[in-house]
Amino acid sequence: MGAKHRNKGWALPPGSIYLFFSGSKDGEKLFRQLQHARGLSSNAVNHIISNWSSQWRIHFAGLTLLAGYLKRIHQQPDYLLKLEQPQIFMANYLEDAISQKCSDNSVKNQRCALSVLLKFMGYSEQQIHSDLVKQLLRKIRMRLRQTDKEKQIWDLDILLNYIKQQVPLLEQNLLSIQQRRAIAAIQVMVFTVAILAELHRAVLFRTSKDEYIIQTTILKSPQRIAEFKICKIPDERICPLRWFKSWFAEREPDIPNKAQELWRISHAERYIQADDLSKAISAVMQSAGISKTYSVTSIRAAAITKLLKHNVSSVKIDRFTLHSDTASTVRQYYDKNNNVEAREVLGQTEEELDNEEDEEQERTLLEEIEHERSNVEQRMLSPVGVLSPGLSHLEFSKTPQWHSHHSIIVLH
């Protein structure tokens, strides 16, 4: 909500509406004047409007069309104050929109905007959400419903591997601060599974050697404050904290620690929008070889898909992603690759499945052995042998005998 609009006043004595609509702000004027006519103060209306984050723009676009309709049927706005049968008005208005060849989305938005307006004017739920209007819009709703289709999600490792490849450039100072910021933003998205807009309006809450904590507001209901940790992880090449520090330490000091300033690099740099951050992240994704058709949002989907693939429980994912209902959200939107596996399983007989399972186990074991062989060889060459931290649970016989896999490794 711009200050320009907030400060216009629009003061009129309650109960009187004198208005001629002619501009793109007519929807906002209509909303303000109808609320004012009912006795609501300008300040109260301002507060109501400013408490919408972005939806007001869509509502007012819809109400602008409503203002045009009132003009066409030669009615003043106060006509809406005393509707005996609001559902009839809604149906006639929406029918007019349909016959004016408005798009399905436009009709849907107009209905939504009108419902909100009438609700704010005190009409009952029953009158606003009538079966009459529901029936009128049945086909439009059907057309707008998302097609139930399979959509593959890219493998998160593609992006992580690409970031690993950038480490030498980072170490040689060959990456610009903007590039480092974009990669850091990706890392934070991957490891916090936060929405870009939430990260964009975050503030730095607390820092320590091993973690930075950022705090943000979640505007999707239930609206709340959330903290995300940017932590160290074992693989330094893709450590979000390392990448975050790599650009954050170089940004100009004294940039205020307030919402929407976190990602700003300098005072000279113009205010960074969520869109700018989104474009920078998309550029990195494309450099990594991820198709342009995938949006920034897909990072979240890829991260959750990877968690599901590695059998992280739904409850854990639920907590991690701050979703309220994993069953209906994560399953529906993120677990998109499982269909392929499901088809493979359905298309195979028990015998083939058993064999495949054995082969898979064999393959994993062989990989582990091969990895350990190189470690042991390295240890034999070096006077101080060190087990890699991730495989410290493995115990080796003192004399390696590579012919028999199972005799070498004892799993605890």
- In the complex, the residues that contact DNA under the rule CB under 7 A are 2, 24, 52-55, 57-59, 61, 103-106, 109, 111-112, 115-116, 119, 128-129, 133-134, 137-138, 141, 144, 146, 195-198, 200, 218-223, 270, 273-275, 278, 295-297, 300-301, 322-325, 329, 333-334
Residue 37 CA neighbour count, 13 Å, CB half? 21
Closest to DNA by CB, 198 vs 372, is 198
What is the nearest approach in angstroms of DNA to the Cβ of residue 394?
Answer: 39
Residue 133 CA neighbour count, 13 Å, CB half? 25
Closest to DNA by CB, 272 vs 408, is 272
What is the nearest approach in angstroms of DNA to the Cβ of residue 5?
Answer: 10
Closest to DNA by CB, 52 vs 205, is 52
The span from the CA of 378 to the CA of 372, in Å, is: 10
Give the Cβ contact number of residue 43 at 10 Å: 9
Closest to DNA by CB, 291 vs 349, is 291
Closest to DNA by CB, 163 vs 196, is 196
What is the nearest approach in angstroms of DNA to the Cβ of residue 191?
Answer: 16
The length of the chain, given as a count of residues: 412
What is the nearest approach in angstroms of DNA to the Cβ of residue 37?
Answer: 20
What is the nearest approach in angstroms of DNA to the Cβ of residue 176?
Answer: 21
Facing residues of 228 across strands? 214
Tokens of 386: 């060190």
Fill in the DSSP letter of residue 80.
Answer: G
Give Cβ neighbours of residue 78 (< 8 Å, ≥ 6 apart). 17, 34, 37
- As a dihedral over the C-alpha atoms of residue 106, residue 108, residue 114, residue 117, rounded to 10 degrees, the angle is -100
What is the nearest approach in angstroms of DNA to the Cβ of residue 145?
Answer: 7
First-to-final CA distance of the chain:
61
- C-alpha separations of 216 from 4, 51, 193, 202, 262 in Å: 27, 17, 13, 4, 11
Fill in the DSSP letter of residue 166.
Answer: H
Is the previous residue joined to 222 through a cis bond, with omega within 30 degrees of 0? yes
Closest to DNA by CB, 25 vs 371, is 25
Closest to DNA by CB, 270 vs 310, is 270
What is the nearest approach in angstroms of DNA to the Cβ of residue 259?
Answer: 11
Closest to DNA by CB, 148 vs 350, is 148
Closest to DNA by CB, 143 vs 405, is 143
The span from the CA of 296 to the CA of 251, in Å, is: 24
**HEC profile of 99-160:** HCCCCHHHHHHHHHHHHHHHHHCCCCHHHHCCHHHHHHCHHHHHHHCCCCCCCCCCCHHHHH
What is the nearest approach in angstroms of DNA to the Cβ of residue 348?
Answer: 26
Orientation of helix 274-287 relative to helix 177-192, angle to 10°: 90
- C-alpha separations of 43 from 1, 6, 48, 49, 55 in Å: 14, 9, 9, 10, 19
What is the nearest approach in angstroms of DNA to the Cβ of residue 150?
Answer: 13
The single residue listed with the structure tokens 């964009």 is 200
**Residue 210 φ/ψ, nearest 5 degrees:** -105, -5
